C-alpha cells in the first residue's frame, strides 16, 4: 500500500507532466474526463476521455491538443468518418468506437502503434485495411456486427492479438478457417456459419 501511495505521489509531481505512455496500473489510476470543456482546462493532463453517448457527428477539434491521451471512448455516437489529424494521438492504448456509423476502418488508427484494445463493434465497416499489420501490440480487437468481407494477409503480423470478436457477421466455414489461420494465437469468436453459397 505504501508503495502505491508513493507511486501516485510521484505521478502528481512536476515530472508527471512529461509522462505520456502509461503502464496499465498508472492508466487505471488516472481520472476520466467526461467533457471536452473540463479537459481543455489542462489538455496535457488528460489521459482518459469518455465522450460516449454524446451524439457526436464529428470529432471535436480540441481533442487534437490532448497529446497524452491513452484511453478514448467515443462509443454510441453518430460518427461516420474520423479526421486526418486523428492519427496524431500516438499514445493511444485503448480506443472505443462502438455503435457509430463508420463505413470504413479509419486508416489513422494504424498509426496508433501502442494500441492494445480496439472496439469498433456495431458499425457498418466492410473491410480491414492492410495497414492493421502495424498494430503489433494489439491484444483485443472487437469487430462484432459489421459488414466485413475483407481480411488482409497483414493480420498475420498481429502477434500480440489474443481476442477477436466477429460475431453477428455471416461467414462460410472456409472463410472462418482462413481468418483463424491469420491469427492463430487469438481466440476468434464467430456466430454459427452460414450456408451462403447454397
Mean pLDDT of 37-54: 97
**73 located within any domain:** yes
Is the predicted pLDDT of residue 32 greater than 50, yes or no? yes
Q: How far apart, in whole angstroms, are the C-alpha atoms of residue 73 and residue 61?
A: 16
**29 located within any domain:** yes
**166 located within any domain:** yes
Beta bridge partners of 118: 95, 141
**198 located within any domain:** no
Domain residue limits at 143: 2-190
CATH (domain of 104)? 3.80.10.10
pTM (2 d.p.)? 0.88
Is the predicted pLDDT of residue 104 greater than 50, yes or no? yes
**22 located within any domain:** yes
Q: How far apart, in whole angstroms, are the C-alpha atoms of residue 172 and residue 110?
A: 28
**197 located within any domain:** no
**196 located within any domain:** no
Instruction: For residue 190, give Cα distances in angstroms to 38, 128, 138.
Output: 40, 16, 19
**155 located within any domain:** yes
Supply the pLDDT for residue 19: 59
52-72 pLDDT, tens digit each: 999 999 999 999 999 999 999
What is the number of structural domains in the chain? 1
Give the angle subtended at the CA of 99 by the CAs of 152 and 73, to the nearest 5°.
90
Amino acid at each position: 500500500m505504501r508503495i502505491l501511495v508513493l507511486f501516485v505521489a510521484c505521478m502528481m509531481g512536476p515530472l508527471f507532466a512529461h509522462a505520456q505512455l502509461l503502464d496499465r496500473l498508472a492508466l487505471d489510476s488516472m481520472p476520466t474526463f467526461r467533457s471536452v470543456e473540463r479537459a481543455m482546462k489542462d489538455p496535457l493532463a488528460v489521459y482518459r476521455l469518455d465522450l460516449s453517448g454524446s451524439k457526436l457527428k464529428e470529432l471535436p477539434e480540441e481533442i487534437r491538443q490532448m497529446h497524452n491521451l491513452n484511453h478514448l471512448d467515443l462509443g454510441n455516437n453518430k460518427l461516420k468518418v474520423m479526421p486526418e489529424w486523428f492519427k496524431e494521438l500516438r499514445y493511444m492504448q485503448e480506443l472505443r468506437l462502438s455503435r457509430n456509423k463508420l463505413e470504413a476502418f479509419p486508416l489513422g488508427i494504424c498509426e496508433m502503434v501502442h494500441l492494445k484494445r480496439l472496439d469498433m463493434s456495431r458499425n457498418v465497416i466492410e473491410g480491414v485495411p492492410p495497414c492493421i499489420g502495424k498494430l503489433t501490440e494489439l491484444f483485443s480487437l472487437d469487430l462484432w456486427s459489421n459488414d466485413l468481407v475483407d481480411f488482409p494477409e497483414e493480420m498475420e503480423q498481429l502477434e500480440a492479438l489474443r481476442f477477436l470478436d466477429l460475431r453477428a457477421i455471416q461467414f462460410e466455414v472456409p472463410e472462418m478457417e482462413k481468418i483463424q489461420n491469420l491469427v492463430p494465437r487469438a481466440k476468434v469468436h464467430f456466430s454459427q456459419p452460414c450456408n451462403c453459397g447454397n
